[in-house]
Amino acid sequence: MYKITLKRQLTKDIKLMGILAPHVVRNAKAGNFVIVIPGETGERVPLTIYDWDKESGVVYIIFQEVGVSTVKLGMMNEGDFVYSIAGPLGRHFHIEKYGNVVVVGGGVGVPAIFPIARALRDAGNSVTSITGFRTSELSILEKEMKSVSDAVIVATNDGSSGTKGLVTDALKALYDKGGKIDLVVAVGPVVMMKAVSELTKQLGIKTIVSLNALMLDGTGMCGGCRVTIGDKVKFSCVDGPDFDGHLVDFNELTSRLSAFKAEEKISLDHCKIHLAGR
Ligand code: NAD
Ligand code: FES
C-alpha cells in the first residue's frame, strides 16, 4: 500500500497526485511510466511519470478522469493509500545533445513532455515547448513548462489564450520563421501525434512520439500494447513508449485504442450510477 501525499485539482477533470513510492523514484527517468492499481479490486492504470523527488521518495502523476479506474483514483485523497504502484516501466527517453529541440504536448499529454523537456535542456539542448489545449480553462503547467524551456508557445483551438489554432499550426509557424529544428518530440492524443508526424515528415525533421497503447501487465507478457513500427511489431511497454513518429501505424493504434470503447462506457455509466446512489 502506498500513501497519497499530495492531491491537487488542475482542471475540472485533471488531477495531480503525489504517491510515496521510493522504489519507483530510485530509478525514475524522463519517459518512464508507472502502473497504478487504486484499490484491491481495481484495474491497472498506466500513467506517464510527471515528476519525482529523490529526497522524499514521492512520485508525481497527472491524470484525467476518463474511465472507472481514473475516476476511482481521483476520488482518493491525501492520506489514503493506493493498492499498488509498479515502476518505473518502459524505456526512458533517449537523451543526448540534438541541438534545437521542439517538444509538443497536447492536453493531458503535457505532463509527459515536462520531464523530457527538462532532461533535454539539462543535456545542453535548446528547448522550445509548444503546448496545445482546446480552450484556456483546460490549460495546465504553463509555469512549469517555462521553467524547463528556452521558449514556450501556448496554443488554444479557440484562441482564448496564447496563439489561436492547433499545435501543428504553431509548429509550422515556428518552422516558417526559419529557425533550425533538429528534433521534435510529441506527446498527446493520437490524432495530434499523427498530424505532427505527417507535418515533420514533409519538413524532414526527426520526430519521436510517446504511444499511449492499451496496456495490461506493462512488462511485455500480454501483447495488449502491440503497435506496428515500420515493418516491425513492437510492444509499447517494453520496446517504447517512444518511437519514430514517421514509422508508426497510427491508424492501427487508433483502431486498437477504440476496441473496448463500448464496454468502457457501460462500465463508467454503472460506476456513475453507483456513486450517485451513495
Ligand atoms: P485534446 O483533444 O484536448 O487535444 C489537445 C491538443 O492537441 C489540441 O488543443 C490541439 O492543439 C492538439 N490536437 C488535437 N487534435 C489535433 C489534430 N488533429 N491535429 C493537430 N493537433 C491536434 O487532448 P486531451 O483530451 O487532453 O487528450 C490528451 C490525450 O493524450 C489522451 O488521448 C491521452 O491518452 C494522451 N496521452 C498520451 C500520453 C502518452 O504518453 N502518449 C500521456 C498522457 C496522455
Ligand atoms: Fe502487456 Fe505491453 S502491456 S505486453
State residue 83 phi and psi, 5-degree precision. -65, -40
Q: Closest by alpha carbon to 119, among 29, 238, 7?
A: 29
Q: What whole-number distance in Å separates Cα of residue 248 and Cα of residue 251?
A: 9
44 plus 144 within the same structural domain: no
pLDDT in tens, 194-234: 999 999 999 999 999 999 888 888 899 999 999 999 999 99
Residue 241 belongs to a domain: no
pLDDT in tens, 234-257: 999 999 999 999 999 999 999 988
pLDDT given at position 42? 78
Q: Which ligand is nearest to the CA of 138?
A: 1
Domain boundary among 208, 240, 260: 208
Q: How many domains are there within the chain?
A: 2
Atom of ligand 1 nearest to the CA of 155: 11
194 plus 103 within the same structural domain: yes
**How many angstroms separate the alpha carbon of residue 108 from the centre of ligand 1?**
7
DSSP line for 130-183: EEEESSGGG---HHHHHHT-SEEEEEETT-SSSEES-HHHHHHHHHHTT----E
100 plus 196 within the same structural domain: yes
**How many angstroms separate the alpha carbon of residue 202 from the centre of ligand 2?**
32
3 state SS of 196: helix
Model pTM?
A: 0.92
Determine if ligand 1 sits within 6 Å of the CB of residue 109: yes
Domain containing 179 equals: 93-208
Cis preceding-peptide flag for 241 (omega within 30 of 0) = yes
CATH of the domain at 7: 2.40.30.10
**How many angstroms separate the alpha carbon of residue 264 from the centre of ligand 2?**
19
99 plus 202 within the same structural domain: yes
Determine if ligand 1 sits within 6 Å of the CB of residue 152: no
62 plus 153 within the same structural domain: no
